[in-house]
Amino acid sequence: MVLIRLKLFGKILIFHYISTMEDNKTHKVVIYNDDLNSYDYVTACLIRMCKHDPIQAEQCAVTAHNVGKCVVKSGAFLDMFELKTTFDDLDINSEIEEYASGMY
């Protein structure tokens, strides 16, 4: 079990996160196009925060601009939560999405 502490509007919220698949890629971070940030800024953030190489970061920025969104990283929920929080601090519009299961 992992505790996540989040401060929101002056209140501290504590979430209990229990997972048997923490090492698996269960979630993904998606960035969205906006008119606030330049290509260079988004590219630099992707290189630094997601450890993308410059070409991959530029391709993600262009995809987000042309398509409206782009998956930039996938992994365990806690890692994706940290990345999304960082993107929020950097004013990059992003969301965490859960991978859909292929099993029915």
Structural domain boundaries of the chain? 25-98
pTM: 0.73
| Helix (H) / strand (E) containing 100 | none
At the topology level, CATH places domain 25-98 in: Ribosomal Protein L30; Chain: A, (3.30.1390)
For 56-102, how does the pLDDT look when each residue is reduced to its tens digit (9 = 90+)? 999 999 999 999 999 999 999 999 999 999 999 999 999 999 987 55
* Torsion, CA 9, CA 72, CA 74, CA 54, rounded to 10: -120
Q: How far apart are CA 60 and CA 98, in angstroms?
A: 19
pLDDT at position 22 is: 44
